[in-house]
Amino acid sequence: MADRHVLITGASGGLGAAVARWLASVGVSLTLVARSKLELDAVAHQVELAGGRALPVRSDVSSVLACRKAVRSGVETFGRLDALINNAAVVEPLSRIRNTDPSAWQNAMATNLLGPLYLVRDSLPALQRAGGRVMNITSGAAEISLVAAGAYCTSKSALNHLTRVMGQEIPDVTSVAIRPGIVDTPMQAHLRLRAPQVMPPEQSGYYRRIKSEGMLEPSHVPARGIAWAALHAPAHWSGQIMDYDDPRIAEPSLAYFGDRLR
């Protein structure tokens, strides 16, 4: 995999960083995109220690120009692009519709939906040359209605449909949306903090309970499946929304990477 290059957004921690480390373990070169320079540089160092090459790009995916710059920087550095992993997302605003700030909804849509669109558009020439793949990281929240999380639910539902459209419009790039399950990430910590202020008691209590009862998945587990799919997802999956623990993903990813992330 030494000649492969993957661009990952939201790569400064949590799921994105874990995907980067899996890919680095097989020698993949990575463009790591996030807003936080300090954390991004730390992940880049981990990638290089694991055997990959890393280009950290401090960028906000809600910006058209920033997305274009990130793609261009990665392709110019590594000469090609084999996969794009749209992982960056925000859960705010956590607010009911009648109280919400429209600009906060705009920011959620810009990050969770439009950012992936911008990156796909700018990546297409390189991805098409490589017969590449796009992994859109979605959520089970796309299919349910969560009080005070309307922006997140709506944006992820739209991302799912964007994936379906990509499957129809871009037949020479394999586009898949992957649900990573309920992962132990900073987003979950934020929900535990904010939910009691804005959500019904049973809903906010759920976030505390899944943490206290050990129900959250460690980020390296779904990250392994996402990393494998970015390299190997077959073309006939294009346009599908899939779970990280689908046997078609979970079993070959375990065989390919093993069960331990160094």
Mapped onto helix, strand or coil, the DSSP state of residue 170 is coil
Q: Are strands 133-137 and 83-86 parallel, antiparallel or unpaired?
A: parallel
DSSP-H helix ranges across 97-217:
102-109, 115-130, 150-169, 186-198, 201-212
Question: Is 206 noted as a catalytic residue in this protein?
Answer: no
Comparing CA positions, the residue from 190, 178, 218, 14 lying closest to residue 86 is 178
Alpha-carbon distance of 207 to 215, in angstroms, equals: 10
Alpha-carbon distance of 47 to 16, in angstroms, equals: 12
Mapped onto helix, strand or coil, the DSSP state of residue 251 is helix
Alpha-carbon distance of 237 to 259, in angstroms, equals: 24
Phi first, then psi, for residue 91 (nearest 5°) are: -100, -20
Mapped onto helix, strand or coil, the DSSP state of residue 217 is strand
Active-site pick, 152, 206, 207, 244: 152
List, in sequence order, every beta strand (DSSP E) within the chain: 5-9, 29-34, 53-58, 83-86, 133-137, 174-179, 240-243
- Which single residue is written with the structure tokens 């959500």? 199
Catalytic residues: 152
